[in-house]
Chains A and B, each alone.
Chain A
């Protein structure tokens, strides 16, 4: 065991897999000599050399487009998009090419590609760095979407993503990169893709969150317990596609009350999908409507307003009261 931040755990995951599997390539803007703008790839270039770790030209479509073909012809690329807001530059290569090649070719070609990208608010970035765009990819058949919230999960999920035969979007909450340290096993281990984690058990209300919203939901749950004596269950979804409905439904059936929390804007966000599924499969268990606490339907705000814009413990707390008092 070693104590690691999330960024270190992510770095460790890539190192472990690169040592194990020589097909793994790391590519992106500034991932080589520089070790990444967040140091996620630090030391990999020095350890594995220029034939495994590539600084690419500054062109997102180029990064993913070349990675698609590398993946389909025998490599296992881990491509970095420097900030998730830049992902629009390569939407075609992700959603029309990577996501669909297996389907289009009737299984002849696989795309074992991981796309890593820092995302999420709370660190006062300039424009178009912090947007939460996961819903765009959850909406695209053929992709898997993973978002860790702890160093342990980050390493285990990233190793799983790198071993997955299909394309995985791996969004890393910037705000959590260095905010917590955790005991993380050395060497290889996996956390399964498609499995949520009940980070806190409870009986009265279910909070569903991912990424940087998980610690927020946990704090809101603790407050609600102290102030109202209720017990809240907190689910860290971890994988958004495919979604672990089993864990969600068994919690909903137990508590009958649900609040979904995400940073992304509300309309047609992943929260809407979760609520629709709960409606379809567990309406009779519900004691109250399922509420969402999300970003507002505006572009990501100027940094001086982001703390107000992002779901806060206080807003989550209010939503918990609403579903309890319905």
Chain B
């Protein structure tokens, strides 16, 4: 009986269907034409970015890279509904959201290349560096959000992570802490159905991720993560609830990565069926949003080409700039371990410099 109720409660919200039409009984979020176009500019720009980043990785001009194609609605919608002073906790796949939230593209490339300044989030950009340890940052979002309550600030914290992360203990602890302290945290799961090669049914027996909210007595929603309107609406509502003192929200955004897990040799053909991929391609987020805008007379091929060109130009300029930047010295590493360098580190640094000098 309980399972039946859960099924009812966690139906997947879809506003914009794969045909680019608004579903019956649904309303798109209140966004101006300019705001709609801006969302599209970001989403389509991100698709171009992803394709180009994959090429740059293959050419050896970028290092670690986790493709985002297919998840543009999640990446952009999750942060578009927030304010710049809300705090964002990304995982390693969330560079699109990071850029929308204010992280310069230059920084994304430095991180990918493991170059000096990697992870050095500029002042005024409210985010942690991308999290590699799966679900560790779920707790950070809970902690930061709890802090906003203590300071009486009307801010929220959002963590983005994948379906695999929901198996981690820190996922549970994070949701539990946020629930207990009524912290305005948004836990945004991009359920792309695979954690590398492991399908969702091997992560969990639950029918949905959203239903896990029940265990914490927090608000949980399941949305079509390829529908920019559903994502935007869910995050907006979660943020409003958080700011109004109504605590955390778990959002399960159902999506699909069109590419591999990372560029480090992952081949989805080993674990995914071609038909499955083709099926998801029909439901990918950009195509349907394009149709919607086209129907409203807000899209043209020319404009899209322009977005593409602007993005390619920005990437070309940025990668060239980054390639000319300092790769970093061993001695730089000593600077950021502690606020004041310890005697041991000073000694090691000096010894290294002496050795360099002597063996020149």
Query: What is the interface of chain A, defined by CB distance below 8 A to chain B?
Result: 25, 51, 54, 56-57, 59, 61-62, 65-70, 72-75, 92-93, 96-97, 101-110, 141-142, 144, 165-166, 194, 241-243, 245-246
- Given contacts A69-B147, A70-B147, A97-B133, are A61 and B119 in contact (CB under 8 A)? no
Contact at B176–A106, with CB atoms within 8 Å?
no
Contacts of B176 in A (CB 8 A): 57, 59, 62
Is the pair B120, A75 in contact by a Cβ cutoff of 8 Å? no
List residues of chain B with CB within 8 A of the CB of A108.
Answer: 120-123
User: What's the nearest-Cβ distance from chain A to residue B181, in Å?
Assistant: 8
Known: A67-B143, A108-B123. Is A62-B174 also a contact (CB below 8 A)?
yes
Q: How far is the CB of B91 from chain A (nearest CB, A)?
A: 14
The answer to whether B173 and A57 have CB atoms under 8 Å apart is yes
- The reply to whether A107 and B338 contact each other, CB–CB distance below 8 Å, is no
1/0 contact trace for B167-186 toward A, CB 8 Å?
A: 00110011011001100000
Q: How far is the CA of A279 from the CA of B339 in the complex (A)?
A: 29
How many angstroms between the C-alpha atoms of A210 and B300 in the bound complex? 73
Specify which of A66, A103, A144 is in contact with B143 (CB 8 Å cutoff): A66
CA distance A230 to B157 in the complex (A): 63
18 contacts between A and B (CB under 8 A): A25-B150, A54-B181, A57-B180, A59-B173, A65-B174, A68-B143, A72-B144, A92-B133, A92-B136, A93-B139, A97-B133, A97-B140, A102-B338, A105-B336, A108-B120, A110-B339, A142-B337, A245-B343
Which of B147, B338, B340 is A73 in contact with, Cβ under 8 Å?
B147
Interface centre among B143, B169, B176 (most CB of A within 10 A): B143
Q: Is the CB of B150 within 8 A of A51?
A: yes
Which residues of A sit under 8 angstroms from B344, Cβ to Cβ?
Answer: 242-243, 245
Chain B residues, Cβ within 8 Å of A69: 128, 139-144, 147, 157
Distance A62 CA – B136 CA, assembled complex (angstroms): 9
Q: Which residues of B contact A (CB under 8 A)?
A: 87, 117-123, 128-129, 133, 136, 138-144, 146-147, 150-151, 157, 169-170, 173-174, 176-177, 180-181, 333, 335-340, 342-344
A144 to B343, alpha carbons, bound, how many Å? 13
- B117 & A72 in contact (Cβ 8 Å cutoff): no
- A105's partner among B121, B139, B170, B174 (CB-CB below 8 A) is B121
- Quick one: which of B157, B170, B181 contacts A61, CB cutoff 8 A? B170
Report if A105-B147 is in contact (Cβ < 8 Å); known contacts: A59-B173, A142-B338: no
Bound CA span A166–B345, Å: 15
Bound-state CA distance A144–B341 (Å) is 12
A181 to B157, CA, bound (A): 46
Asked if B133 and A75 make an inter-chain contact with CB atoms under 8 angstroms apart, the answer reads no
Q: How long is the Cα–Cα vector from A103 to B144 in the complex, in angstroms?
A: 19
A106 touching B117 in the complex, CB below 8 Å, given contacts A70-B143, A92-B136: yes
Contact: B121 with A66, CB < 8 Å?
Answer: no
Contact between B337 and A103 (Cβ–Cβ < 8 Å)? yes
